[in-house]
């Protein structure tokens, strides 16, 4: 009920972190979440900050808004958020981890579903398909971030 994708980027971690932690830019990168906005007074990334993302599931639909809460926020190292209105209702956790490596940074995007019975059943029945979709989406997201940070030099 989890997976990850890592892409090496020829850019410093701080520059990459600025992009992945600014949820208002997610529409540039994600094949499913086409826009997001900070809510409840939040104006940027911080643990506990909330935002909502506008999602087009599987790139086709349904289309819906989902509330997310920032769970990890370490500039240049990690940005993570839980999908759910609060920590008690988190359905899954998405993370970006950045590790300096040679001429740049290894960036890992990951997801982990909460280990509840309904999600376990869902993953047992549909995990093969959704897992592939998530892997492809993470790779697309990271390749789009890579293209932007490497062009920006």
- Which neighbouring-strand residues pair with 52? 37, 67
pLDDT digits 0-9 by tens, 93-115: 999 999 999 999 999 999 987 77
According to the model, what pLDDT value does residue 33 have?
Answer: 93
Average pLDDT over residues 20-26: 97
Biggest CA–CA distance in the chain, Å, is 46
C-alpha 44/C-alpha 28 separation (Å) is 17
The domain total for the chain is: 1
According to the model, what pLDDT value does residue 121 have?
Answer: 79
pLDDT digits 0-9 by tens, 132-151: 888 999 999 999 999 999 98
Question: What is the CATH number for 9?
Answer: 3.30.530.20
pLDDT digits 0-9 by tens, 33-71: 999 999 999 999 999 999 999 998 777 778 999 999 999
Q: What is the mean pLDDT of the chain?
A: 89
And the tokens for 133? 């979709």
* Structural domain range at position 24: 2-152
And the tokens for 2? 């989890």
């Amino acid at each position: 009920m989890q997976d990850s994708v890592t892409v090496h980027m020829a850019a410093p971690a701080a520059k990459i972190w600025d992009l992945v932690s600014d949820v208002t830019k997610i529409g540039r990168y994600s094949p499913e979440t086409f826009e997001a906005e900070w809510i409840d007074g939040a104006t940027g990334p911080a643990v506990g900050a909330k935002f909502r993302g506008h999602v087009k599931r599987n790139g086709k639909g349904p289309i819906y808004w989902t509330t997310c809460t920032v769970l990890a926020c370490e500039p240049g190292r990690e940005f993570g958020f839980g999908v759910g209105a609060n920590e008690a209702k988190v359905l899954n956790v998405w993370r970006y981890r950045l590790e300096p490596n040679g001429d740049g940074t290894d960036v890992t995007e990951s997801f982990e579903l909460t280990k509840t019975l309904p999600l376990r059943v869902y993953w047992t029945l549909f995990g093969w398909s959704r897992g592939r979709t998530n892997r492809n989406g993470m790779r697309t997201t990271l390749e789009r971030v890579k293209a932007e940070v490497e062009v920006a030099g």
